[in-house]
């Protein structure tokens, strides 16, 4: 079994996608039977969709809240949390996932660039995002803010700008090792992070099939994250 050689001076940037939560039972988006087979992006994941049919949008995210609340972290999440405990400030985890399985595994230095499933915010006023585990499905009505605005999921939809890009690019500039895990490499800007890192860092991909942006990676480890990562990232191997 291969492992990642890793120097004490290395700074690690990890980018995770839906594949890292697949072994926890959460659907990916683009695999066969994935979320985008059953819903159209333009119906549930755009600002227009929200204006047209907020009930359908909340139905989609309520279903995902229910699934994520029942899911448990798998060995991939646990291996990343263990590595963070060892590397501390030399570790940065950027996830495209909106579930909280990295946190459930113990990750702390984590950035959710596409938002968080268990947070909501007002679509009208500047009230900050807040923790929200409620399900808004019929017969429940749409949640409302005290200002009268509609409460929406704290998710970055298509056509919106991902959260914390400054912070992400600062970490990309610092990294000497970039590892993408379980992401198809099709959604920007995350799909281009490897191109940015590749100028100064070694780039690695882990997942069962090569991603669309495979040409950006120096090494590709094919397999399930939950099976490969515990060994690839084992502290003894660093």
Interface residues toward ligand OAD, by CB under 6 A: 17-20, 22-23, 28-31, 34, 45, 96, 114, 156, 158, 182-184, 186-187, 207-209, 211, 224-225
Q: CB-hemisphere CA count at 13 Å for 192?
A: 5
Give the pair of three-digit tokens for residue 93: 């985890």
Catalytic residue among 112, 114, 154, 196: 114
Q: Which residue, 96 or 120, is less far from ligand OAD as judged by CB?
A: 96
Q: Which residue, 37 or 218, is less far from ligand OAD as judged by CB?
A: 37
Q: Alpha carbon 161 to chain centroid distance? A: 15
Q: Is 96 exposed, middle or buried (0-12, 13-18, 19+ CB in 10 A)?
A: buried
Please give the biggest Cα pair distance in the chain: 57
Q: Which residue, 144 or 215, is less far from ligand OAD as judged by CB?
A: 215
Least distance in angstroms from the C-beta of 139 to ligand OAD: 27
Least distance in angstroms from the C-beta of 117 to ligand OAD: 11
Least distance in angstroms from the C-beta of 148 to ligand OAD: 27
- Does the active-site annotation cover 102? no
Looking at beta carbons, which residue is closest to ligand OAD?
A: 19
- Rounded CA-CA distance 5/87 in Å is 14
User: Phi/psi at 25 (nearest 5 deg)?
Assistant: 95, 5
Q: Which residue, 80 or 90, is less far from ligand OAD as judged by CB?
A: 80
According to DSSP H, which parts of the chain are helical?
35-38, 41-44, 47-52, 54-70, 75-87, 101-105, 165-174, 193-198, 225-232
Q: Which residue, 133 or 186, is less far from ligand OAD as judged by CB?
A: 186
Give the pair of three-digit tokens for residue 119: 């947070």
Least distance in angstroms from the C-beta of 181 to ligand OAD: 6
Angle, helices 225-232/75-87, rounded to nearest 10 degrees: 30
Least distance in angstroms from the C-beta of 151 to ligand OAD: 19
Q: Which residues are catalytic?
A: 114
């Amino acid at each position: 079994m291969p492992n990642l050689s890793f120097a004490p001076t290395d700074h690690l940037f990890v980018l995770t996608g839906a594949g890292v939560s697949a072994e926890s039972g959460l659907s990916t988006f683009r695999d066969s039977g994935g979320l985008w087979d059953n819903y159209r992006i333009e119906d549930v994941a755009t600002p227009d969709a929200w204006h047209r049919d907020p009930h359908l949008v909340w139905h989609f995210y309520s279903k995902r809240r229910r699934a994520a609340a029942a899911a448990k972290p798998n060995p991939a999440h646990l291996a990343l949390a263990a590595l963070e405990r060892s590397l501390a400030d030399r570790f940065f985890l950027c996830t495209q996932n909106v579930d909280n399985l990295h946190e459930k595994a113990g990750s702390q230095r984590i950035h959710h660039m596409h938002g968080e499933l268990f947070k909501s915010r007002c679509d009208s006023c500047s009230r900050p995002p807040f923790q929200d585990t409620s399900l808004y499905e019929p017969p429940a009505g749409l949640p409302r803010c005290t200002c009268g605005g509609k409460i929406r999921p704290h998710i970055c939809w298509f056509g919106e700008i991902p959260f914390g890009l400054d912070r992400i690019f600062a970490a990309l500039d610092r990294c000497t090792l970039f590892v993408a895990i379980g992401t198809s490499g099709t959604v920007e800007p995350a799909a281009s992070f490897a191109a940015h890192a590749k100028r100064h860092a070694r780039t690695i991909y882990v997942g069962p099939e090569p991603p669309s942006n495979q040409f950006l990676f120096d090494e590709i480890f094919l397999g399930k994250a939950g099976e490969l990562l515990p060994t690839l990232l084992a502290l003894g191997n660093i």
